[in-house]
Structure 1
Amino acid sequence: MIQLPINISSLEVTEMVGRDHNNVMKDIRRIIEQLGEVTSYQSYFIESTYTNSQNKELPRFLLTKKGCELYGTRMTGEKGTQFAVKYIDRFNEMEQVIQEPNLPQDPITLALKAALETREQVQSIQSEVVEVKETVQVLFDTMRIDGRQEFAIKAQGKSKVIETLGGYESPAYVALSKKVFAKMWGDFKRHFILPRSMELPKARFDEAVKFIAMWRPDTSTAIEIESYNNQAKLKLVQ
């Protein structure tokens, strides 16, 4: 026997609490937002749709028993008590219908139940897929660069400093290489907010390549490099 999932539509809740459906939907969305990422809201509220009298498809929520209990906590006093009594009675009625073995089950009813169950299962699976994708993205964003990428960045950084100093055999390289290397990697760590330059997240590898390609020393260092290399040229002329 196919079992119909025990859920109450937000439209039914609207009738129970005597509020406009839009306001009930806003209440539920606010609760979902407050639940955040700590608790999966699908065990309380299931996103669904319905067709109104103008044949227009509109959003609604299906509330599980837990969802009704959670929604009921937002209502105090007499209204809260009345809602609790109504949803408890409603769930008891639904459970009796499902548990009754001798109820006639016509093909249309069975098909509708199966379709509803399948739809809700698909929605649940889709939600889980979204959660997995988000988790994978977070892991990728925080994953450190691998050995190959680290080697590439170090090699590019070394080439950039040698080029900036005027070549491996330039006077500026001999006198200032340690200083300029330190400045470049210091700028690199400050830009990417890293304790150590090679702790770069994998997701920012392309940005790191671009940063090194565009890097230039500060004005004082550039003048110092030029001064060392010009002195060497003057000696050659003399």
Structure 2
Amino acid sequence: MNELVIMKDQQAVTTSLQVAEVFGKNHRDVLRTIDDLKDVRNFTQMFSDGIEPDSYGRDRRIYYMNRDGFTLLAMGFTGKKALDFKLKYIEAFNNMEEAIKEERIQLPSDPMKVLELIFEANKNTDKKVERIDKDVKYLKDNQRIDSAKYSYISKQVSKKVYEYIDMHGLTLTAPQRSKLFKDISRGINEVTGVKTRSQLRQKDFDIADEFIDNWQPSTATVQIIKQMNNVADGQTTLGA
């Protein structure tokens, strides 16, 4: 069940898209089911609207839900997958209760032994804090960039392309300009390891910004634009 859970705003949540995939349902049907729950008390405490890009980078509506929202939604499903979920849910609670019982200890009467336990507990706490800090950094770095940074990157891409056009005194058609935009976008995706710009993570921001600042179109892109513009053979630049 762990693959269903993600971190969002320091809370463990899952999405309607993940639920649809795991339970073998159409995402539109899952959205419709959640929409029908809007009159339920505390709906907004269990569900929140969100946007996530599809495989083509287009925005699509999803719901985020916490554990209560997930339980309310999934308990209404029928079939083998729903039954498996219920059994795993019960098993998870049983295991947690058993672990709590096993961790209960009896403090020794010897003060020195008590001190040893305290020192050991502090040492373990420091290790846990260090591990948590690393986990938080990882989660923060791998979050999608916020809308302000995404907008900044988009503006820098447009600015850089038109700076290149002006610098070389070019007069390009819309299809030719499109080649330049595709070239710089492809480069951003390659250096950051994403498929579409909408998938950029927080840790990718500086990398993308530096790439845009140093971008020059590839030889292949320049050659294609020249061919579209009927530039004379032997000319190696787009400028006159």
**TM-score (structure 2 length as normaliser):** 0.46
Larger Rg: 1
Q: Which has the larger helix fraction?
A: 1
TM-score by length of 1: 0.46
